């Protein structure tokens, strides 16, 4: 298990219906609901150069608290912790409490220096995979460390994305086996070819489909390395109605839509207001979590849709 891993029985990619922009806050006459600090990558400030060497400014203090929350609140999402660490390190937001960053991290979170810098190295890959609908464990990405050194983050993301689409549940052992079987790869290896090789290793039925165009199975991560990589796939719809992976994805969308429709029947403004007025300490965190989840679904379905004829 990795440092920020949570052992789950299954991994469900996220999908959902189309939303015309969901409100980030919910309001009542006296309560303003805002997302909890550190509960999404967008709330973590991007790494930046220190504003000075003296006391932290008010903005730096806010950034420091957001980064701390990113580590504390989402230990199962290692990419948020990794970005938080990199921002605190690059901007030297730790300087008031302890000038030695690695020592400061150990005192606060008992994370070793080697683990710390591994998280800082892996968070962009984790974010790209999360934006593709996956929830990778840190141990899974760690199994691809040598692969990433040989090739690139794009190839590693393609490998993970392909595995996740070909097996019912992805594990560290599966990732390691695939990476080991791929063997040594050149720096300029084609990501689409790697995707086909991975499917072959896993004996995926899609491997028998010869209609897949070169490049269609490679995740679009053109913004990888920027502050917030988009990570959305630009795949073209399969020409085969019997495509088993496409059928599985459609079922996921249908299940998500049914779940959302059922949830919508249970929630209305009057019920929310009553809950907030009666027990704000319980209701407010629930509302925040619902809003955060809806925003996550909204981002997942924010893909380029084909024009309707």
The C-alpha atoms of residue 264 and residue 284 are separated, in whole angstroms, by 18
Residue 245 has pLDDT above 50, yes or no: yes
Is 224:128 a contact under the CB 8 Å cutoff? yes
pLDDT the model gives residue 246: 61
Residue 223 has pLDDT above 80, yes or no: no
The tens digit of pLDDT for each residue in 277-300 reads 999 888 888 888 888 788 778 777
Q: Higher-confidence residue: 129 or 264?
A: 129
Is 198:162 a contact under the CB 8 Å cutoff? yes
pLDDT the model gives residue 122: 92
Q: Higher-confidence residue: 231 or 306?
A: 306
Residue 22 has pLDDT above 80, yes or no: no
Residue 177 has pLDDT above 60, yes or no: yes
Is 4:78 a contact under the CB 8 Å cutoff? yes
Mean pLDDT across the chain, nearest whole number? 75
- Strand pairing of 32-33 and 26-27? antiparallel
pLDDT the model gives residue 71: 82
pLDDT the model gives residue 235: 36
pLDDT (mean) for 181-210: 78
The tens digit of pLDDT for each residue in 294-303 reads 877 877 777 6
The tens digit of pLDDT for each residue in 1-21 reads 555 555 444 444 444 333 444
Q: Is the pTM of this model over 0.75?
A: no
Nearest to 184 by CA among 218, 155, 225, 214: 155
The tens digit of pLDDT for each residue in 70-115 reads 786 555 688 888 999 999 999 999 999 999 999 999 998 889 999 9
Cβ neighbours of 205 (radius 10 Å)? 12
The C-alpha atoms of residue 148 and residue 142 are separated, in whole angstroms, by 10
Of 26-35, 229-238, 242-251, which range is least confident? 229-238
pLDDT (mean) for 27-54: 65
The C-alpha atoms of residue 297 and residue 15 are separated, in whole angstroms, by 6
pLDDT (mean) for 224-249: 46
The C-alpha atoms of residue 199 and residue 165 are separated, in whole angstroms, by 9
pLDDT (mean) for 210-216: 41
Of 35-44, 80-89, 133-142, 211-220, which range is least confident? 211-220
Which phi and psi angles does 33 have, rounded to 5°? -95, 125
The C-alpha atoms of residue 8 and residue 90 are separated, in whole angstroms, by 33
pLDDT (mean) for 248-259: 81
pLDDT (mean) for 18-39: 43
What's the burial of 11, exposed, middle or buried (CB within 10 Å: 0-12/13-18/19+)?
Answer: middle
């Amino acid at each position: 298990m990795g440092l920020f891993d949570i052992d789950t029985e299954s991994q469900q990619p996220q999908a959902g219906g189309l939303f015309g922009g969901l409100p980030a806050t919910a309001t009542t006459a006296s309560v303003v609901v805002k997302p909890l600090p550190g509960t999404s990558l967008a709330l973590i400030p991007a790494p930046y150069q220190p504003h000075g060497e003296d006391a932290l400014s008010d903005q730096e203090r806010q950034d420091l608290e957001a980064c701390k929350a990113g580590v504390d609140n989402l230990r199962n999402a290692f990419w948020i912790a990794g970005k938080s660490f990199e921002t605190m390190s690059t901007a030297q937001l730790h300087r008031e409490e302890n000038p030695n960053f690695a020592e400061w991290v150990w005192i606060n979170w008992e994370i070793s220096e080697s683990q710390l810098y591994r998280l800082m190295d892996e968070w962009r890959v984790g974010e790209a995979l999360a934006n593709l609908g996956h929830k990778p464990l840190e141990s899974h990405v760690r199994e691809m460390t040598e692969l990433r050194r040989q090739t690139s983050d794009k190839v590693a993301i393609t490998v993970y994305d392909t595995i996740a689409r070909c097996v019912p549940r992805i594990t560290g052992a599966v990732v390691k086996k695939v990476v080991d079987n791929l063997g040594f790869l050149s720096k300029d290896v084609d990501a689409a070819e790697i995707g086909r090789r991975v499917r072959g290793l896993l004996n995926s039925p899609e491997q028998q489909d010869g209609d897949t165009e070169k490049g269609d199975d490679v995740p679009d991560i053109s913004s990888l390395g920027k502050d917030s990589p988009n990570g959305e796939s630009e795949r073209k719809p399969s020409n085969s109605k019997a495509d088993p992976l496409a059928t599985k994805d459609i079922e996921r969308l249908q299940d998500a839509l049914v779940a959302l429709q059922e949830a919508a029947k249970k929630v209305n403004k009057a019920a929310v207001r009553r809950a907030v007025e009666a027990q704000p300490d319980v209701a407010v965190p629930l509302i925040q979590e619902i809003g955060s989840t809806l925003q996550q679904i909204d981002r997942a379905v924010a893909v380029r849709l084909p024009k309707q004829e």
